């Protein structure tokens, strides 16, 4: 019984998460220098929320989130 419960607690959420197909998040490397150290930020482009590319990415993320949240709220 204990092993079954542990299986359900740990495996099932991982299985569900692995089945989610996330929208593509393209890498657009930008190099920032802080105190003479170069730091690559692949997702800095997401900070420009007024661009069409970011707006489309946000819409796709929201669509995924809402689909997932609707399923989980029905199960509660």
pTM: predicted TM-score of the whole model, two decimal places: 0.64
- Average pLDDT over the chain, rounded to whole? 82
Q: Where are the alpha helices (H) located in 2-51, listed in sequence order?
A: 2-18
pLDDT beyond 80 at 76: no
Instruction: State the Cα–Cα distance between residues 58 and 46, nearest whole angstrom.
Output: 9
The answer to whether 17 and 35 are in contact (CB under 8 A) is no
Condensed to tens digits (0 to 9), the pLDDT of residues 42-72 reads 999 999 999 999 999 999 999 988 987 887 7
Backbone angles phi, psi at 32, to 5 degrees: -110, 145
Q: What percent of the chain has pLDDT over 70?
A: 71
């Amino acid at each position: 019984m204990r092993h079954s419960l542990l299986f359900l607690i740990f495996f099932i959420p991982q299985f569900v998460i692995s089945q989610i197909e996330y929208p593509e998040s393209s890498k657009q490397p930008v190099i920032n220098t802080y105190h003479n150290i170069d730091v690559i930020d692949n997702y800095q482009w997401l900070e420009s929320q007024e661009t069409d590319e970011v707006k489309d990415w946000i819409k796709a993320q929201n669509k995924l989130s809402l689909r997932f949240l609707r399923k989980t709220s029905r199960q509660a």
